[in-house]
Structure 1
Amino acid sequence: MSAPASRPLLFLDVDGTLIPFGTSIAAQPGRPHGHTQGAVLPADAHPLLHKVDPEHGRRLKALPCDLVWATTWMSDANDVLAPLLGLPTLPVVDWPDSDEVGVLHWKTRGLVEWAQGHPFIWVDDEISHADGQWVSTHHHSPALLHRVDPRRGLTEHDFTVIESWLTRAR
């Protein structure tokens, strides 16, 4: 009997992905977007945290993949965002110090290395065509690099694309 296949990874960015940069009519200062339980954020919290949609946590947890923070927030994502989203503590990609500048996103090589040949999805607002080409050449398992509109963050369309890819990847 063969070992069970591991689940795909979902590398999750924060700024522009879970925290949209555009304006939100429904958002209220000091309160997460869509939040109805009355929890107020600390005064020194990130100025855009009120735009985090707690419903995204439920949607992310329901996906048949393993979530991994892929953000400059590092472990702060677990301390600040995971509770807002109702997520458990997630693994965090540890970024090496690099001054590398070029057409390739600075996260790309690190994510491929972190995935260690496992199928993965990378959800970010800064992914380019160059990143997709590099991943397809250097990563020999399925990968979806999904660019999110930073003005809107994750939307229903984004979840549909991710869910569809995960269904096909199984």
Structure 2
Amino acid sequence: MRDGTRRPERPLALIDVDGVLNPYAAPACPPGYREVDLFPGEEPVRVRPGHGDLLRRLETAFDPVWATMWERDAPRLLGPLLGVQDYPVIEFGAHVPGPKLPGVRRAVGERPLVWFDDLHGASAALWAARRRAPTLLVPVDPARGLGHGHIDEAMAFAERTATGTIGPWTA
């Protein structure tokens, strides 16, 4: 900016796949989803095309990032099915298949964020509580997947973050 002030960075939206976009815990494929064989010899992935609209809504206020053990398979396989752009990917490296928190911590720095996951865990909640940057953990039921209410919650968080009416952490 010309006046020498820095524009704050947009918050990140960390997006998990299994449990969030793929409701693996549902006993049968939920209405609105279809099963797709993305990994030969493994369980089919449940995909809801409407998730693309939800993710594009997030793009208006957040910088979306894949935060999934799928790593580069998420944009390669799901991006085209959902019609979303090629979001960056958090590389978990040596932590796969373990807790995501070390990789998330390395990737996000001090940016505000919302994190959609079905398995945040106590360590993620503690980390979020201690962060100086506004942080919202959005738990998603792995039998139902991501819905409009989750996105509404994130958008309200983004608005409060942008206007400065939010503290350092919210759960």
When normalised by structure 2's length, the TM-score is 0.79
Give, in whole Å, the separation in 2 of the partners of 1:161 and 1:131. 19
**TM-aligned CA deviation for residue 100 of structure 1:** 10
Q: CA RMSD in A?
A: 2.4
**Counterpart in the other structure of 2:91:** 94
**Counterpart in the other structure of 2:106:** 113
- Work out whether residues 19 and 117 of structure 2, in 8 Å CA contact, stay in contact via their aligned partners in 1: yes
Give, in whole Å, the separation in 1 of the partners of 2:112 and 2:82. 24
**TM-aligned CA deviation for residue 52 of structure 1:** 1.4
Q: Secondary structure at the match of 1:97?
A: helix
Percent of aligned pairs with the same residue? Answer: 31
**TM-aligned CA deviation for residue 112 of structure 1:** 2.4
Which 5+ residue runs of structure 1 have no aligned equivalent?
31-40
Structure 1 residues 25 and 58, CA gap change in structure 2 (3 angstroms): closer
Q: Secondary structure at the match of 2:94?
A: coil
**TM-aligned CA deviation for residue 133 of structure 1:** 1.7
**Counterpart in the other structure of 1:4:** 7
Amino acid at match of 1:158: H
**TM-aligned CA deviation for residue 91 of structure 1:** 0.7
When normalised by structure 1's length, the TM-score is 0.80
Q: 2:120 aligns with which of 115, 118, 127?
A: 127
**Counterpart in the other structure of 1:156:** 148
**TM-aligned CA deviation for residue 29 of structure 1:** 4.7
- Work out whether residues 56 and 85 of structure 1, in 8 Å CA contact, stay in contact via their aligned partners in 2: yes
- Work out whether residues 108 and 135 of structure 1, in 8 Å CA contact, stay in contact via their aligned partners in 2: no
Q: 2:44 aligns with which of 48, 56, 65?
A: 48
Give, in whole Å, the separation in 2 of the partners of 1:43 and 1:109. 26
Give, in whole Å, the separation in 2 of the partners of 1:99 and 1:156. 30
Give, in whole Å, the separation in 2 of the partners of 1:58 and 1:99. 29
Structure 1 residues 46 and 66, CA gap change in structure 2 (3 angstroms): farther
> Residue by residue, what CA displacement relative to the aligned partner does 1:15-61 show, whole Å, maximum 9, x if unpaired?
0100002121444555xxxxxxxxxx679486433x21122112212
Which 5+ residue runs of structure 2 have no aligned equivalent?
163-171
Structure 1 residues 128 and 76, CA gap change in structure 2 (3 angstroms): same
